[in-house]
């Protein structure tokens, strides 16, 4: 169905129409869900090239396309390529949207996860998660689901670094916030 929708939109709306690009992303997502990662990558790459050309590198849709492509790299175990792409997204997002924009914070979290999976720069992942948690706690609140996810990511990074006491402290704090309060 996604393939059919894409072909109809290409024919009726044109290959560069936003709805056509959305259909490309939907098809790519479907491919990913089926484990057809290389086909998903091709779709994401094509959509990204069109968005860069038509919308420019700083447009929000372009940044999301870059994130989609980075995710396809992660699906294939290509963490270094995902890191390079996500670093560019974070830099562009900070410059064009601002360092505290919700999308910038999401992109920072993606980069932190890339760093975590690369294993090599776990200290850098820790620094990024600490910065991200501080901003999210201030902007979104310390109990916001995104803040809690970042706290979890920081805890598992601390565990990987061997700082068991701090990892346990963060995990307990996260659990306490998430636990339903009784009246």
**Residues 50-103 pLDDT 10s:** 999 999 888 889 999 999 999 899 889 898 899 999 999 999 999 989 999 989
pLDDT at 183: 61
Measure the CA–CA gap between 167 and 126, rounded to whole angstroms: 11
Q: How many CB atoms lie within 10 A of CB 77?
A: 11
Q: Is 16 helix (H, G, I), strand (E, B) or coil?
A: coil
More confident residue, 117 or 174: 174
Q: How many residues does the chain have?
A: 183
pLDDT tens digit sequence for 112-157: 888 887 765 678 889 999 999 999 999 999 999 999 999 999 999 9
Contact indicator for 20, 14 with CB cutoff of 8 Å: yes
The pTM assigned to this predicted structure is 0.80
Higher pLDDT, 167 or 117: 167
- Residue 106 in tokens: 């999401």
Contact of 43 with 26, CB cutoff 8 Å: no
Give the pLDDT mean for 146-174: 92
Q: Per-residue pLDDT averaged across 22-28, rounded? A: 91
Assign 8 a pLDDT band (cuts: 50, 70, 90).
very high
Residue 145: predicted pLDDT: 92
């Amino acid at each position: 169905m996604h393939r059919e929708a894409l072909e109809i939109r290409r024919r009726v709306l044109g290959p560069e129409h936003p709805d056509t690009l959305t259909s490309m992303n939907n098809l790519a997502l479907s491919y990913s869900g089926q484990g057809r990662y290389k086909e998903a990558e091709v779709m994401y790459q094509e959509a990204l090239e069109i968005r860069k050309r038509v919308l420019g590198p700083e447009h929000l849709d372009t940044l999301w396309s870059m994130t989609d492509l980075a995710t396809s790299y992660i699906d294939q175990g290509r963490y270094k390529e995902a890191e390079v792409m996500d670093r560019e997204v974070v830099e562009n997002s900070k410059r064009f949207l601002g360092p505290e924009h919700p999308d910038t914070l999401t992109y920072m979290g993606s980069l932190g996860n890339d760093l975590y999976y690369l294993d090599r720069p776990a200290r850098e992942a820790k620094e990024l998660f600490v910065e991200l948690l501080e901003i999210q706690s201030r902007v979104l609140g310390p109990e916001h689901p995104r803040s809690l996810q970042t706290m979890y990511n920081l805890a598992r990074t601390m565990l990987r670094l061997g700082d068991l006491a701090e990892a346990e402290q963060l995990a307990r704090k996260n659990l306490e916030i998430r636990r339903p309060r009784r009246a």
